[in-house]
Amino acid sequence: MRLNAKISLFFTIIAVALIIVVAAISLYAFRRFSEDVAEAHVRTASEIVRVHLTEAMINGVIDRRQSFLRRITEVHGLLSAYVVRAPLVTQQFGESTGGEFKPDEVEELVMKEGRHRFQILEKGDELIFRSTIPYIADSRDTPNCMQCHQVSEGDVLGAVTMTMSMTSLRNQAMVTVGGIVGTVGIFAFFLFLFLRKVLRPISNTAHEVEEVVAQAINGNFGVKVTQQTNDEIGQIALGLNHLMNFLNEGLSRIGRQVAQLTGRKPKADENLLTVTIDMVEGLTKAAHFKQAIEEDEAKIEVYQRLAITLQDEFKLNEFSIYEVASGCNEMSTVMVDGALFAPCRWCNAQILERPETCRARRTGHLVDGIEQLDICYAFSAPDDGERRGYLCFPVLQSGVVGSVVQLVVKEADQDRITATLPYINVYLREAAPVLEARRLTETLKESSLRDPMTGLNNRRYLEEYVETLLANVRRQQIHLAILMLDLDYFKMVNDNYGHDAGDAVLKSLAQVLKQSVRASDMVIRYGGEEFLIVLQDAEGAAADQVAENIRCAVEKIRVNVGGVVLQKTISIGVSDYPKDSGTFWQTVKFADVALYRAKQTGRNRVVRFEQEMWTTEQEY
């Protein structure tokens, strides 16, 4: 209900209540006044009757009392007047023969109690006031009634009953009350009109303010309030209009600037306030993201933080992050569905060896596989019955594609993800220069972390990377298989054929090792002819089988050195992290113990670490 209607209803209720109260009070007052007037008239007439009857008794003309009573009734308003005799008078003078009435219940009660009774009776449309007054013996009055009656002081001699019409008084009262009520009603009506005129600007302004606020909540700040007066209400309307203009211009300017940053195109029917808040919040989160990745030490940490953002902020669980290798025509998986260095799932694996088959890598433009599913032939989703689209973002570094972020989107989420594309672009734009800086740093650093002869990472690389590796193990709750490998009788090669022959053997061995494991596994030249392999998400028989495959592959190596064909074997020790030890380097030590046992038991074999080996070595 509007304020104007509330005020009108409230005033109407007050006016009606006031009229009812005035009418009730007036009616009550006129009733009391009429009763008091009637009572006074009747008392006066009754006293006249009593005095006349007493004088008539003394003068001996009591037989004329009926004539007197008839004349009394001729007084205006009196309808009847009669006298009833008390039992004491009847005992003294006998039954009356002068037309006296027999007492009714009221008169008997009055003569018994000696107190008067007044009643208001209704007979049809006529209102009658009846008065019954006792005639009490009193020697002090003049004339003295006890001169004739042999009674005691205070005895009741009879009762005088008179009836009087109050119809005219009632009618006059109704007319008067009607006039009062009419006057009050007319006054209330004009007062209502006056207040309505005074309050209408307040009500209308309040209603328009309500509409403006509702529109502002919905993002429309162009609605204005009509200034109807020049008082405080008018100033409120004027001030609210200035505020709406300020908010509209300010939010529009902020929205345009933020839209330029995000590349988001505004829509005609969108809520300006909500959209601006969302864009500012998105940029704020992106700024926090940028600050965090700038403090990350390694490139892989940036990728991991980007993956966590895709999962937590954008609710994406199916995605891939690919990295394009610098200086060579290769791509590698960095993250697949949150798993570090996992194999390809959402693309044909040929893109790793032939990156030009990746449309985003080749063109450097966003590939929208939501609008056109078959735009990229390299996309390959598992056949699980659920339709998916994809978005591939090239991340440019120094003008070339350094990474590709692929989002795989289920059909139910496509509208939501499409709406967030500007914000995803902001995150990737912020990540690009940081990734480029980390890649340059790691390229320089890699020269000290890679063995120049075999091209494998060295022990220092493992020391640098181990914390990131273990964090990924804890996050995914997987096992690592540690393989410690050592060529059998390698010293004889150097001694008999020279170090060049030994280097050739080591290079051939490095190639075999790299080809025998996955891209996500690590092959380390640990020192001299000793190598270390870390198999991710591998344990038990699977790790043993990989070790056995390596042993067989090395046994088949043929190295031609100066017309001499060299054939070597290898011994391998295997341990499991965190099954064998909760400490990574202790697990490496256990693999070395197993390798030592393989050497002791004949070489060219795979031995898995058992706890008693460590006890035996300690005793040794």
Secondary structure (DSSP) of 433-448? HHHHHHHHHHHHHHHH
Question: What was the pLDDT predicted at 74?
Answer: 66
Residue 496 is predicted with a pLDDT of 86
CA 535 – CA 554 distance, rounded (Å): 18
Integer Cα distance of 373 and 389 in angstroms:
6
What kind and span of H or E run contains 133? strand 126-136
DSSP 208-233: HHHHHHHHHHTT----------SSHH
Q: Return the pLDDT at 301.
A: 92
For position 163, what pLDDT does the model report? Answer: 84
Q: What are the structural domains of the chain? A: 3-172 (3.30.450.20), 296-446 (3.30.450.40), 450-619 (3.30.70.270)
The candidate with the shortest Cα–Cα distance to 472, out of 288, 297, 290, 303, is 303
445: tokens are: 């650093």
Within 13 Å, how many C-alpha atoms sit on residue 352's CB side?
Answer: 17
Angle at 542 between CA 540 and CA 546, to 5 degrees: 120
Q: Which run of H or of E encompasses 606?
A: strand 606-608
Strands (E), 55-102: 78-85
Q: Which residues pair with 561 in a beta bridge?
A: 564
Residue ranges for the chain with pLDDT beneath 50: 619-620
Q: Cite the DSSP H helix spans in 218-271.
A: 232-262
Using CA atoms, how far apart are residues 412 and 430, in angstroms rounded to an integer? Answer: 28
- pLDDT the model gives residue 620: 43
